[in-house]
């Protein structure tokens, strides 16, 4: 479901937004939606104060890994449909 957003701008702000939208060959509405999406992507999704705690928790775990070149080669083989190699 779509929602409508009403924003009150002064004349100078409106003209600036019109110019920016026109420069990108967009309607004002399309330009505003694009700018809002970009701003939303820049915003952190979680509680940034707890991020160090999450990193410390993750660092306590020991997960199997391999040499980065080997891992990338195995990933590439998977994309190409190659048979996986034994990881031991």
Give the per-residue pLDDT at 87: 53
Per-residue pLDDT at 88: 46
Does 33 fall in a domain? yes
DSSP helix/strand/coil, 2: coil
Kindly give the interhelix angle for 28-42 and 11-23, rounded to the nearest 10 degrees: 90
Question: Is 29 a domain residue?
Answer: yes
User: Does 9 reside within a domain?
Assistant: yes
Mean pLDDT of 23-41: 95
Q: How far is CA 75 from the centre of its chain?
A: 22
Report, as an integer, the average pLDDT of 24-50: 89
Domain membership of residue 25 as a residue range: 1-47
pTM summary value? 0.50
> Is residue 4 one of the residues assigned to a domain?
yes
As a residue count, the chain comes to 88
Which of 1-5, 30-34, 59-63, 78-82 is modeled with the greatest confidence? 30-34
Number of domains present in the structure of the chain = 1
Comparing CA positions, the residue from 83, 64, 60, 63 lying closest to residue 73 is 83
pLDDT at site 16: 96
Q: Is residue 80 part of a domain?
A: no
């Amino acid at each position: 479901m779509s929602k409508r957003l009403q924003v009150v701008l002064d004349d100078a702000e409106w003209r600036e937004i019109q110019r920016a939208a026109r420069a990108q060959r967009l309607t004002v509405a399309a330009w505003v939606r694009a700018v809002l999406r970009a701003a939303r992507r820049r915003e952190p999704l979680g509680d940034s104060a707890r991020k160090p705690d999450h990193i410390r928790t993750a660092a306590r775990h020991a997960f199997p890994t391999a040499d980065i070149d080997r891992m990338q080669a195995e990933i590439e083989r998977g994309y190409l449909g190659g048979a996986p190699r034994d990881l031991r």
